[in-house]
Amino acid sequence: MGKTLFDKVWDAHVVDVIENGPQILYIDKHLIHEVTSPQAFNELESRRIPVARPDKIVATADHNTPTLNQHLPLKDELSRNQLEQLTKNCAKNKITLYGLGHENNGIVHVIAPELGFTQPGMTMVCGDSHTSTHGAFGTIAFGIGTSQVAQVFASQCLLLEKPKSLRVNVNGKLAKGVLPKDVILYIISKLGTNSGTGYFCEYAGNVFEEMSMEGRMTVCNMSIEMGARGGMIAPDETTFEYVKGREFAPKGAAFDQKVAEWKTLPTDADAIFDQEYSINAEDIGPMITYGTNPGMGIKITENIPELKDASFEKSLAYMNFNKGESLIHKAINYVFIGSCTNSRIEDFRIAAAFVKGKKKAHNITAWLVPGSQKVAKQIEAEGLKAIFEMAGFTLRQPGCSACLAMNDDKIPEGEYCVSTSNRNFEGRQGQGARTILASPLVAAATAIEGRIVDITKYIN
């Protein structure tokens, strides 16, 4: 029987197999940030264990950093302390840190690919569930808890049970205005938030083959929202072209040799998956969520379903929505374009193309937060910043920002926010805040209109 992409990468990293137990998996790249690493460093220090491979770790500050005035000292004492701890821990253990203000700083899942750290066939981990993003390169990448961060520090390995395999095929032609975000929101809405638990997912089909790397990252990023530890897309010419020439990618003959290896990674034709789903691209439309988990999504033209279920009703009560209602024309005061899901250059190109020549609605507070310093620079270089400013928007500085509201970027209680982020959990964007997940196109249209509009009519 043939092997899957996942099998090939996994099997190449198994150090040892424990009888009746887990496998020891070698980790090629470990990404860390300020929130989930301090306790792991403390653990090692208290047990007098050295960091095994500091050269395989890259650190950034992103989760609780401000998106305004990053040159000033942090006002929040606890956040400042976390950043200071990260700086100290990295210096002490000789770990590369791209701290606040550094030209390589940004959201961990945005900077690693753009700097060329993320490469096909690797194993990558980070104390962050959206590490699945890097699967876009044909990488086994997944989020871990802080105890596991400490394990990787100590041994560059993890003890894991090999997950089951799942493939989601999407074939056909996507309609105009249907973006990668819509594809993944549609998949999650159809399969459910725990359909992927225990599995590692591969996305296959012409829709993903034709997607840009940015789009593939958006899709893989949200694998965890259907419970899958990670998602992967087979590396191809699009992948190699993206990696080529990046700062930490192999160069010259070494790169060509790597490409030859990467070409052997795609799933064999006769490989069998434990679970497989197929979706027609034509069935997907621009999506929007109405509830408090990412599986509660509908096409923007559809009405909220009418289910009799206590958790469903609790969710609608929190959102202050009614069963059977349409969200079109719903007044919105907040828009967030950012997060590790949708803060890459392509996302800002889409938003800029829409807002060009239009004006932001008066009622709208919009936070446009680039994923990294490099994305911010590119936005300016491509003239997008000027387009946003002409339309009445201002860009903020990079970071996770209102995706999880650890910094000051909090949506007020009771307010709706159309957000390009990944989670619409209760209170995710601030206590009592109500999150509606959507693509950067739908978010941009909401910011111009001050309400949710039927984007399918708008663009046709």
Partner 1 sequence: MEKFIQLISTAVPLETENVDTDQIIPARFLKATDKLGFGDNVFRDWRFHKDGSVNESFPLNQSIYGGSILVAGNNFGCGSSREHAAWALAGYGFKVIVSSFFADIFKGNALNNGVLPIQVSEVFLKDLLGEIQADPSLEISIDLENQYISYSNKKEAFEIDAYKKVCLINGYDDIDFLISKKDKINAFEATQ
List residues binding partner 1 (CB under 8 A).
15-16, 18, 20-22, 24, 26, 35-36, 38-39, 42-43, 47, 49, 63-64, 76, 78-79, 81-82, 85, 127-129, 143-148, 150-151, 154-159, 161, 163, 193-194, 197-198, 224, 227, 229, 293, 310-311, 314, 404-406, 413, 423, 425-428, 431-432
Q: How far is CA 300 from CA 73, 200, 201, 249, in A?
A: 42, 29, 26, 40
Parallel/antiparallel/unpaired status of strands 29-32 and 123-126: parallel
DSSP 250-279: --HHHHHHHHHHHTT-SPPTT---SEEEEE
Single-letter code of the amino acid located at 145: G
Name the strand (E) or helix (H) holding 381. Answer: helix 373-381
Beta bridge partners of 451: 331
CB of 227 to partner 1, least distance (A): 6
CB of 335 to partner 1, least distance (A): 20
How many whole angstroms separate alpha carbon 111 and alpha carbon 211?
Answer: 20
Tell me the two tokens of residue 98: 């791209």
Nearer to partner 1, 342 or 378 (CB): 342
State the DSSP code for 249. S
CB contact set of 150 (below 8 Å; sequence gap of 6+): 39, 40, 43, 44
Q: Report DSSP state, residue 175.
A: P
Cα atoms found within 13 Å of the Cα of residue 226, Cβ hemisphere only: 26
Q: How far apart are CA 390 and CA 386, in angstroms?
A: 6
Residue placing its CB nearer to partner 1 in the complex, 104 or 422: 422
Nearer to partner 1 (CB atom), residue 138 or residue 163: 163
CB of 126 to partner 1, least distance (A): 9
Please list the residues that pair with 335 across neighbouring strands. Answer: 366, 418
Closest contact distance (angstroms) between CB of 15 and partner 1 is: 4
* Least Cβ distance, residue 233 to partner 1 (angstroms): 20
CB of 210 to partner 1, least distance (A): 30
- 243 Cβ neighbours under 8 A, 6+ residues apart: 116, 118, 119, 120, 137, 249
Between CA 420 and CA 338 the distance in angstroms is 6
Residue placing its CB nearer to partner 1 in the complex, 374 or 410: 410
Pairwise CA distance, residues 22 & 19, whole Å? 8
Instruction: Check residue 421 and report its DSSP letter.
Output: S
By beta-carbon proximity to partner 1, the closer residue of 433 and 455 is: 433
Closer CB to partner 1, residue 289 or residue 373?
Answer: 289
Instruction: Give the residue among 258, 254, 253 at the shortest CA–CA distance from 240.
Output: 258
* Smallest gap from residue 26 Cβ to partner 1 (A): 6
Query: In this structure, which amino acid lies at residue 86?
Result: L
Q: How far is the CB of 436 from partner 1 (least distance, A)?
A: 16
- Give 391's Cβ-side CA count (13 Å radius): 28
Give me the least distance between CB of 28 and partner 1, in Å please. 9
Of 150 and 384, which CB lies nearer to partner 1 in the complex structure? 150
Smallest gap from residue 289 Cβ to partner 1 (A): 13
Name which of 290 and 393 has its Cβ closer to partner 1: 290
42 vs 212, which CB is nearer to partner 1? 42
CB-nearer residue toward partner 1: 20 or 460: 20
Least Å distance between CB 323 and partner 1?
Answer: 18
Instruction: Please report, as a single letter, which amino acid is at residue 303.
Output: N
Instruction: Report the candidate in 208, 236, 31 with the shortest Cα–Cα distance to residue 123.
Output: 31
- The angle subtended at Cα 395 by Cα 393 and Cα 398, nearest 5°, is 155
- The residue among 161 and 241 lying less far from partner 1, judged by its C-beta, is 161
- DSSP secondary structure letter of residue 124: E
